[in-house]
Structure 1
Amino acid sequence: MIEIKDIYKTFGDNDVLKGITANFKPGKNNLIIGGSGSGKTTLLKCIVGLHAPTKGDVIFDGENFTDMDFEQRVPIRKQIGMLFQNSALFDSMTVEDNIIFPLNLFSTMSKSEKLDRANFCLERVNLEGKNKLFPSELSGGMKKRVGIARAISMEPKYLFVDEPNSGLDPQTSIVIDELISELTLEYKITTVMVTHDMNSVMGIGDNILFLYQGKKWWEGSNKEIAHTDNKELNDFVFASKFTQAAREKL
């Protein structure tokens, strides 16, 4: 489990995060949502250590990540998988080499073990046999799946996902959501996803943290969203006809 306690983040005179406390549980799709400027991406970066909180603590399974120095953080970093918004694949590397990249950095596997792991991950995301392709030869959805394969190559306990459906068509977005959800449940991963995609919220939102003006404004499941009287949350989530129709089905 990941706990965040009273997280503040200030850039100059701009108070981006204002005392956020929440728990993200294993085996659950923990979503962070909110409008532009609400602080959701900043919060994700504080959790993974890309930003240092101005105040507050980030705790991974009882260990205070915030208080650790670089060397002390290494064991936890080895347990973290990341899926970036643009997939962040290395264009000069094949699919196989992209997946093996973190294994080269952090594992003591032999070459054959790394290849076996890459093949397993590709099979898990339904991309068997695509080892020797380059990112330029892949569709947007395939790139996302390679990004997921790389993110799970180290068998992470924690998976962080930033806008996984950005730039994808609705059908492919559903495929990506379902894949992330399946992996989260199957491996009991603590998954934390930043998203603005309301299909994701209504489809896989086990636990949802809604940020508004840098504060935690609401927390609950997708089914609880359907019955909330939180005005700001309703304005954000049910702005479209599609999400309003989804709400009426719950």
Structure 2
Amino acid sequence: MIEVQDIHMSFGDNKVLKGISGTFKPGLTNLIIGGSGSGKTTLLKCMIGLHKPDSGRVSYDGRDFLNMNFEERIEIRKEIGMLFQGSALFDSMTVEENIMFPLNMFTDQSNSEKRERANFCLERVDLVGKNKLYPAELSGGMKKRVGIARAIAMNPKYLFCDEPNSGLDPRTSIVIDELIKEITEEYNTTTIVVTHDMNSVMGIGDYIIFLYEGKKFWEGSNKDISKTDIKELNDFVFASRFMKAAKDKF
């Protein structure tokens, strides 16, 4: 479980986060949604230590992340898997080498053990036999799946996904969503997904936080979101669906 309590974050005079709180539970796909500039990516970066908020608390199963020293934070980071928006694969490394990268950094496993783990992760994302390919040889959807395989290589307790469907067609987006949800439930992972894709929201949103102008305007599940009378959330839902439909059409 990850808890954020009263997170404030500013860049100069620009107040990006204004007292965000929320509880992200294991075994659920926890979504942070909102329009551009709402603060969702900044919140994610505060949660994983890429930004230090002005005030507030981030705790991992009761461990106060923000007040840890460097060595203590490394131990938490070993438990975190990260799927970046652009997959962020190393172009000069093969698929297998990309997946083994965190294992090389954080474990003392033998090469055979690391290859075995890489093969397991490739099988889990349905990419058996793609070990020796390079990122340039992969489709967008395959790159995302390799990114997921790398993110789960360390068998993380916490999985962060930043816009996992960015740049993907609707069918591939559904595949990635379903894969994230399956892994979350299978390993009881605390998964946080930053997205503006309403298909993802309605498909896998067990717990959702909606941010608007740096504040938490709503929280609930995908079953609740259509029942809200909050104008800002309804405007976001309508605009997101309209833009998605227009994109798919053209």
AA at the equivalent of 1:215: K
Instruction: Tell me if structure 1 keeps the 8 A contact 2:174–2:200.
Output: yes
2:221 alignment counterpart: 221
SS at match of 1:199: helix
- Identity percentage of aligned residues: 74
Deviations 1:197-226 (A, max 9, x none): 110001000000000110000000001001
Report the alpha carbon displacement of residue 241 of structure 1 after superposing the two structures with TM: 5.7
State the SS of the aligned residue for 1:6. strand
Matches within 5 A, 1:147-226: 147-226=147-226
Structure 2: gaps (5+ residues): 246-250
Residue equivalent to 2:137: 137
Is residue 101 of structure 1 aligned with residue 101 of structure 2? Answer: yes
Q: How far apart, CA to CA, are the structure 1 residues paired with 2:101 and 2:78?
A: 13
Once residues 240 and 37 of structure 1 are traced to their aligned partners in structure 2, the CA distance between those partners, rounded to angstroms, is 15
Change (3 A) 1:6 1:240: closer
Cα gap change, 1:186/1:38 in structure 2, threshold over 3 Å: closer, same or farther? same
Give yes or no for the alignment of 1:125 onto 2:125: yes
> Using the alignment, how far apart are the partners of 1:188 and 1:108 within structure 2?
25
SS at match of 2:82: strand
The answer as to 2:53 corresponding to 1:21 is no
SS class of match (1:148): helix
Contact 2:207–2:221 (Cα < 8 Å) also in 1:
yes
Q: Report the aligned-residue RMSD.
A: 1.4
Structure 2 equivalent of residue 248 of structure 1: none
Paired residue secondary structure (1:108):
coil
Q: Indicate the larger mover: 70-79 or 41-50.
A: 70-79
* TM-score relative to the length of structure 2: 0.96
Q: Once the two structures are superposed, what CA deviation does each residue of 1:43-80 show, in whole Å capped at 9, x if it has no partner?
A: 00000000001100100000000101111111110000
The whole-number CA distance in structure 2 between the counterparts of 1:46 and 1:78 is 17
The CA deviation string for residues 122-155 of structure 1, in whole angstroms up to 9 with x for no partner, is: 0000000000000000000000000000000000
Q: Please state how far the C-alpha of 1:242 moved relative to its aligned partner.
A: 6.8
Please state how far the C-alpha of 1:240 moved relative to its aligned partner. 5.6
In the alignment, the residues of structure 2 paired with residue 242 and residue 190 of structure 1 have an alpha-carbon distance, to the nearest angstrom, of 31
- Give the Cα separation in 2 of the matches to 1:152 and 1:25: 18
Q: How far apart are the structure 1 equivalents of 2:242 and 2:145?
A: 26
Q: Name the structure 1 match of 2:80.
A: 80
Cα distance in 2 for residues equivalent to 1:6 and 1:122: 39
1:101: Cα distance to partner? 0.5
- Contact 2:159–2:189 (Cα < 8 Å) also in 1: yes
What amino acid is aligned across from residue 238 of structure 1 in structure 2? Answer: F
User: How many residues were matched structurally?
Assistant: 245
Q: CA separation of 1:73/1:168 partners in 2, compared to 1, >3 Å: closer, same or farther?
A: same
Structure 1 runs of 4+ aligned residues shifted over 2 Å read 238-243
Aligned-partner Cα distance in 2 for 1:159–1:110? 25
5+ long unaligned stretches in structure 1: 246-250
State the partner residue of 2:248.
none
Match of 1:56 in 2: 56
The question of 1:89 aligning with 2:95 is answered no
CA–CA distance in 2 between the matches of 1:197 and 1:21?
Answer: 22
3-state SS of paired residue (1:226): helix
Q: Which amino acid in 1 is paired with 2:128? A: E
Could you tell me how far apart the structure 2 residues matched to 1:69 and 1:13 are?
28
